[in-house]
Amino acid sequence: MEPTPFVGPDLTTPNPTRIYDYSLGGAHNVAADRTVGDAIIAATRNGRQVARANRDFMRRAVRHCLTDGVTQFLDLGSGIPSVGNVHEIAKAADPSSRVVYVDNEAVAVSQTRAVLAGVDRTAMVQADLRNAAAVLEAAETRGLIDFDRPVALMTVAVLHYLGHEEDVLAVLAPYHRLLAPGSYFVVSHATADGREEEAAAVAARFEATTHQIHYRSRTEVRELFGGFSLVDPGVVWTSEWRPDDDSDDDTPPSDSACWAGVGRLD
């Protein structure tokens, strides 16, 4: 019998998942990622701040859902584990919280599974979020998430990997349809608004990677919240979304380069 060829992660082509990990100071990246990561950081006014501001927004959004009693999280495009993962924030507030992570990148999946070993009521599903059936019918999702109760559906820094030819709302519809009243929809999304030149330079760097980046405007991001009531302050720069009282971040909000919002299903 022929040996099965080894299919591992491609470590020669830069990969945005690992580049994001590099921006956050993580260790799950290789030289090819760091070269493009440095070029992206250099092309951006406040380089590493983009990833940090996004991650901080995610933390605040998760806490907001928890304070409203939502303890189930379905995190699409969850990435490589880093400081302040959704399950850590959720379980610190309520140990019975349930978290299902979803990503289609091997490195994100294997690292997340390693981090989750022994952490109850958490799971990692390897799937493309466009394939909602694969996500929603996965044994892990069915076993952990009760859609009769409110769920926080997280799409943080992931929808900009869907092309402009794709109907993002149609991709999300099977998830949205399942959500019970009181559920949340959390979004952050890269934009070129007010930073067209810089955004074009960053997009050009992405060309060398496995994924392209597709910017959307504030209006387009707002439209993603169709049936949801936007929680104050609406769709704003990630760093402007309910900043912590003790925040000493004096970076111009637009340097966070992503729009962010949280919607609630009434």
Binding site for ligand SAM (CB under 6 A): 17, 20, 54-55, 58, 77-79, 102-105, 108, 128-130, 156-158, 161
Structure-token pair, residue 9: 């992660």
Which residues are registered as beta bridge partners of 237? 259
CB proximity list for 41: less than 8 A, separation 6 or greater: 23, 47, 48
Report the nearest approach of ligand SAM to the CB of residue 218 (Å).
Answer: 19
Residues in the chain: 266
Distance, in Å, from the CA atom of 27 to the CA atom of 48, rounded to the nearest integer, reads: 15
Give the Cβ contact number of residue 145 at 10 Å: 21
Which residue is nearest to ligand SAM, using beta carbons? 79
Nearer to ligand SAM, 81 or 150 (CB): 81
Which one, 79 or 150, has the nearer CB to ligand SAM? 79
Instruction: Give 107 or 179: the residue with its C-beta nearer to ligand SAM.
Output: 107
Minimum distance, C-beta of residue 107 to ligand SAM, in the bound complex (Å): 8
Q: How far is the CB of 162 from ligand SAM (least distance, A)?
A: 7
Mapped onto helix, strand or coil, the DSSP state of residue 264 is strand
For ligand SAM, the closer CB: 3 or 162: 162
Nearest-approach distance from CB 105 to ligand SAM, in angstroms = 4
Q: Is the peptide bond before 150 cis (omega within 30 degrees of 0)?
A: no
